[in-house]
Amino acid sequence: MSAFPIVSGPILLTVTLEQGAGFAARAAEGTLLAVLAILAFSIVYAWAAQRFGMALSMLSALLAWGVAVAGLKALPLPVEACFVLVVLALLVSPRLFPPLRSGDAISGLSAARPAGGAAASDLPWRMLAGAALVLAVSYGAAAIGARLSGFFAMFPVMSTVLVGFSHVRSGRAFAVALLRGMVYGYFAFATFCLVLSLQLRDGSVATAFAAAFACALAVQLAVKRLMAPAAPVRPAVVK
C-alpha cells in the first residue's frame, strides 16, 4: 500500500485546485525528493530499534527525516534528476537495513497477523493523522511554498502510526520487516510523483492525476511480479 499516495495524493490535488497546476507541479517535485527522507526515516528506525523501544526509535527516525528534509529542500535538481536519484536510493536502501538476528525470524501467519487485533485498533489514528496532515499542508501551502509543501505531503504520518503500533504489539522484528517491505512500494510512488509533475505542466488536472495513478499501478504490478518467488521445480517421478 506504500505504492499509492493515500495521503499525499489528496494533498497534491487540493494544492492543485487552490494554488494552480504550476504550484502543484513544483510541489510534486518536492514530494518525489522527499522519498529520500522517508528512506532515512525507515533505515534509522530499523537500526535504532535494535537497541531502543518504540518511543526512542520513533524520535530518532523523525529527527533523521527532519535533517534529510533540511538538506534536500534546497537541492536544485530538475524532476527527472530527482527521479533517477530516488530510484538509485531505492535500489541501495534494502542493503542498509540491519540483518535479522537469530531470534528475530518472522514467517507465516504470525507475521501477517499482529496479536490482539492491532490492525483494527490503529485505523482511527491513521485516519485522523492523515486528515490532519491534508488540512495542515493544504492550509499552509501558500505560506511555506511549493517545494516545502511537497516535502510535508510526504511526512511519514502513516509510517509513524502503523510502525509504532506494530512495534509495540507485534515486536521489533515485525516493525522492521514492515519498513523494509514498504521500500518496494516507493518505486510506484516515485513514478506517480514524476508523471504528475510533468503532466501538470502541460495537461489538464484530471488527465495528470489519471495518468499518474495509471503509471503507478503499472509499476507496482511490475515490481510485485519481479518480487514473486519462483515456483519450486518438482522432481520428475520415474515409473
In this structure, of 35-44, 130-139, 191-200, the range with the lowest mean pLDDT score is: 130-139
In a domain, 125, yes or no: yes
Phi-psi region of 108 (alpha: psi -120 to 50; beta: other; left: phi over 0): left
Residues 6+ apart with CB under 8 A from 77: 33, 85
* Confidence class for position 141, pLDDT limits 50, 70, 90: low
Residue 21: which of 200, 217, 236 has the closest Cα?
200
pLDDT value of position 133 = 57
Instruction: Please name the amino acid found at residue 80.
Output: E
Residue 2 has pLDDT above 90, yes or no: no
Domain around 48: 8-101+109-227
* Confidence class for position 88, pLDDT limits 50, 70, 90: very high
Q: What is the C-alpha to C-alpha distance for residues 102 and 109, in angstroms, rounded to an integer? A: 19
pLDDT value of position 18 = 85
In a domain, 81, yes or no: yes
Taking the alpha carbons at both ends of the chain, their separation in whole angstroms is: 48
C-alpha cell at 218: 503499472
pTM for the whole thing?
0.80
**Bigger pLDDT: 63 or 203?**
63
Q: What is the C-alpha to C-alpha distance for residues 159 and 170, in angstroms, rounded to an integer? A: 15
pLDDT value of position 3 = 61
Consecutive H or E run containing 231 = none
What's the number of domains the chain is made of? 1
In a domain, 237, yes or no: no
CB atoms under 10 Å from CB of 133, counted, come to 21
Residue 140 has pLDDT above 70, yes or no: no
Q: What is the C-alpha to C-alpha distance for residues 188 and 212, in angstroms, rounded to an integer? A: 10
In a domain, 19, yes or no: yes
**Bigger pLDDT: 139 or 116?**
139
Distances (CA, A) of 189 to 9, 12, 83, 237: 10, 13, 11, 46
Q: What is the C-alpha to C-alpha distance for residues 60 and 4, in angstroms, rounded to an integer? A: 26
* Confidence class for position 115, pLDDT limits 50, 70, 90: very low
In a domain, 234, yes or no: no
In a domain, 235, yes or no: no
Residue 183: which of 48, 88, 79 has the closest Cα?
88
In a domain, 233, yes or no: no
**Bigger pLDDT: 128 or 59?**
59
pLDDT value of position 112 = 41
In a domain, 72, yes or no: yes
The rounded percent of the chain whose pLDDT value lies above 90 is: 33
Contact 197, 28 (CB under 8 A): yes
In degrees rounded to 5, what are phi and psi of residue 128?
Answer: -65, -45
Residue 108 has pLDDT above 90, yes or no: no
The rounded percent of the chain whose pLDDT value lies above 70 is: 74
